[in-house]
Amino acid sequence: MDKTATAKLASYERRYRQLAAQLASIGYIAAGSVAQRHNRCGKAYCGCHAEPPRLHGPYWQWTAKVGGKTVNKRLTEREARLYLEWIANDRKARSLLGQMRAVAAEAMALILAGDDPGSLAQSPDPSANPGAPPHLKAPRAASQPP
């Protein structure tokens, strides 16, 4: 690998580490959305049915998919602020992961295009990893214990 490619790779590595550090500093995350709702009640004489209506609320509501089902939860003002923060953290984490994937793709393309296949493109021996899938593990000798 020439000096230019090595310098580019070092730059990608620095950027990747910066993004990883930002990702590590993100707080709790939550999926879904928070909305403020104003409702009508079922009492015909209530002001929420007048012209113009004076709706009940505001009520805070969190909505998300949980186990393939849409879940709604009414929140207090404090809970709504916390959920809004956690949802923003989730969006930031997704953005950072996308950026990390882009940087990693550039670095991998540079490594794979390198002239010296033994330089930075060396991959660890998967058979040395005890948690590796069986098809990646090297066969054991008959005298080795399981």
Q: What is the pLDDT of residues 118-137, one digit of tens each?
A: 444 444 555 555 555 554 45
What is the longest distance spanned by two Cα atoms in the chain?
88
- Specify the pTM: 0.69
User: Where along the chain do its domains lie?
Assistant: 3-115
Count the Cβ atoms, other than its own, within 10 Å of residue 145: 4
Q: What's the angle, vertex CA 107, arms to CA 91 and CA 4, rounded to 5? A: 135
C-alpha closest to that of 35 among 71, 74, 61: 61
Do 22 and 96 touch, CB atoms closer than 8 A?
A: yes
State the pLDDT at residue 122: 47
State the pLDDT at residue 78: 97
Do 137 and 144 touch, CB atoms closer than 8 A?
A: no
